[in-house]
Amino acid sequence: MVSEGPDRIGDLIRMGAEFDWQGDHIGLSREGGHSLARVLHSGDSTGSEIEATLIRTVNAWQSIQVFEHRFSVDLLVDNGRCVGVLTFDEPTGRLVAHLAKAVILATGGAGQLYSVTTNPTISTGDGMAMAYRAGAVLADMEFIQFHPTALDRDSMPRFLITEALRGEGAYLRDCNGERFMVGRHPLAELAPRDVVTREMVKVMHCCHDAPVYLDATHIPESVLKERYPNIWSRCREVGIDISKDLIPVRPVAHYTIGGASTDLNGETNIVGLYATGETACTGVHGANRLASNSLLEGLVFSKRISLAVMRQLSFEEDQAVADIRLDYHVEKPVVDIDVAAERSWLQKLMTDYAGVVRNEEGLRYAISALNKKDDILRAGFMSSAGFELQNMFSIAGLLAKSALSRKESRGVHYREDYPESNDRWLIHLENRYVEDMVAG
């Protein structure tokens, strides 16, 4: 990732991505856990700039077909090889099979498992759940990163106050106006995210659940407006002038470090199935992703996947797309399941017992509660909301079981009953669904 990162950034720039410059060179900023400024940015909307650039590039290629409003239900596997994807066409209610010589999962993470998150409503772990059902190995599912500074408002997903603002010099203050990170870590407000988040939880508890405050009032107004226009305007919408007012913030679920385990070319243990971005577990993030490494990981390993797929297809040039018979049985839908209510119940359960601070009693309770809802996994839904709910329950169970198994604290996984790291746990916990197959 380090050696190939600069070339991938160059690819983005050639596609038209616009980053901020300082004089004659690209500007760099510093974020949590960084000892040097090393992050490229486009105002405070870097991810949006990259996404818009990639969408423009895809739309410019007439040979690329884009199917919208289709929910990916399951992977199609034939003789140990992934040969396509089964999708649900929402407007028509039909199941549609897309056969392919290679399948790449790029479906994001599972932040919606929690009541408050920066993730969009579609981040329900769908790609991970599909991969798991197909027989792929999922690793490191217990490692969920919580971002320290999301705007403390009721809107969902929560608006993220970028870590770059702390890199610019903003302070974190408790309910009494005191800076609480000084002396807690050498980097103070720029300590790694897990450290900052846990300190915030302690402070909020002592302040009777009052939020923590981000203080940027000592930063020149011109810098705030120019460098952080999105934060400036969003806070103004809710009556906060960040040049004069403290910004109320809370930790929220932000990033799924685990996922479908891949090699350095993004391939899973299933031939022809690849995963990238937050859906994948490449291992580069360890137990605590550093700020901005997610975008870099996606760029680097997606390129490696594309090269690997081209090599695979060149070797198999004469091989036809698999000729398979689909036998997809859907049971009668269970009509008495309130999808929205069950989703909210799950989010509260995970927030309360598998969130920032965990312990054996809480995790065992969460697993037991999830097991009592196994009828949801057996229900024959025919809606994207129903499919999402099943995927959320599936991934929640794996997350809780992995968190219970790891009897230590490491990175973003914090067990108050095992508060120290233990080198016996320098391992990746893996999950794989194995189903007995009966020959027909």
If DSSP codes are grouped into helix, strand and coil, which group holds residue 24?
coil
What is the Cα–Cα distance from 293 to 284, expressed in whole angstroms? Answer: 9
What is the Cα–Cα distance from 89 to 326, expressed in whole angstroms? Answer: 16
What is the Cα–Cα distance from 421 to 424, expressed in whole angstroms? Answer: 9
CB contact at 8 A, 40 and 19: yes
C-alpha pair distances (Å), 366 with each of 240, 377, 379, 381, 400: 38, 16, 21, 24, 7
C-alpha pair distances (Å), 407 with each of 289, 298, 306, 360, 422: 20, 30, 38, 9, 8
What is the Cα–Cα distance from 111 to 124, expressed in whole angstroms? Answer: 7
Which H/E stretch holds residue 90?
Answer: none
Sign of CA dihedral 383, 281, 275, 116: positive
CB contact at 8 A, 422 and 389: no
At residue 105, φ and ψ (nearest 5 deg) are -90, 125
Q: What proportions of the chain, in percent to the nearest 5, are helix, strand and coil? A: 35, 20, 45
b/e map 241-269, b = 16+ CB within 10 Å = ebbeebbbbbbbbbbbbbbbbbeeebbbb
What is the Cα–Cα distance from 26 to 222, expressed in whole angstroms? Answer: 20
Would you please indicate which residues are annotated as catalytic (active-site) residues? 193
